[in-house]
Amino acid sequence: MSLAVPACPHCATPAELPLVCDRCGWRWHANPMPAAAVLLERRDTGQDEPAILLLRRAVEPGLGAWDLPAGYLDPGESFEQGARRETLEEAGIEVELTALAGAYHSPWGNAVTVVYRARATDTPEVRIDFESSDHAWVPRSAVPDWLPRIAFPAMAAAVADWAAGRVGGPSAGDD
């Protein structure tokens, strides 16, 4: 059962913040939500360059666009745990995190996403879940053609940084 509320966190005006629960007094501040994502890398035999896994979204937001395995952290979960869990849930692949790629801010999603580079712990056979309708292994040289297809600007920035060999820093236009 759900109840109507006067304003959701997305629509609340500054005068309505913080939102306060009538039952327990918990206060919601407009702080970004923590999220984790994975640049799952593989290099096929005979290939000169690595490729990363992208998933085509089968749910809103971003229905039909492409994304990294990613999502919000569960309560009490670390960024590393969240990155591994999301990749296992969304792609069916267990991963070893190899490096921190960067942290990316998504104003629209009210999120800060920590992105890791990773490799599969075994031969990666992608088994997508209900959140995805397809997958693609995108080689580094093809990334410029894929950037317009990525659902979220923060994840497009992470993919662009990976393709350019950059460690994630402030994106163009960030203060």
Q: What is the pLDDT of residue 173?
A: 46
Beta strand pairing call for 111-120 and 33-42: parallel
Whether the Cβ atoms of residue 161 and residue 102 lie closer than 8 Å to each other? yes
Mean pLDDT of 69-91: 96
What global pTM score does this model have?
Answer: 0.82
CA max distance for the chain: 61
**Pairwise pLDDT comparison (169 vs 57), residue with the higher score:** 57
- Domain spans of the chain? 32-164
pLDDT value of position 26? 74
Specify the CATH architecture of the domain 32-164.
Alpha-Beta Complex (3.90)
* Cα 110 versus chain centre, distance: 12
Give the model confidence (pLDDT) of 7-19 as tens digits. Answer: 877 788 878 877 8
Place of tokens 């035999």: 45
22-48 residue pLDDT tens: 887 777 767 788 999 999 999 988 889
Angstrom distance (rounded) from CA 63 to CA 151:
8
What DSSP designation does 161 have? H
Supply the pLDDT for residue 101: 96
- Asked whether the beta carbons of 39 and 68 are under 8 A apart, the reply is yes
pLDDT at 141: 96
pLDDT tier at 175, thresholds 50, 70, 90: very low
Tokens coding 147: 């950037």
Task: For the chain, report the end-to-end CA distance as a whole number of angstroms.
Answer: 42
- pLDDT of residue 170 exceeding 70, the answer is no
Quote the distance between the C-alpha of residue 114 and its chain's center. 8
Rounded to whole angstroms, how far apart are CA atoms 52 and 85? 17
Interatomic CA distance for residues 9 and 22, integer angstroms: 15
- Euclidean distance between CA atoms 22 and 34, whole angstroms: 25
CB atoms within 10 A of CB 120: 18
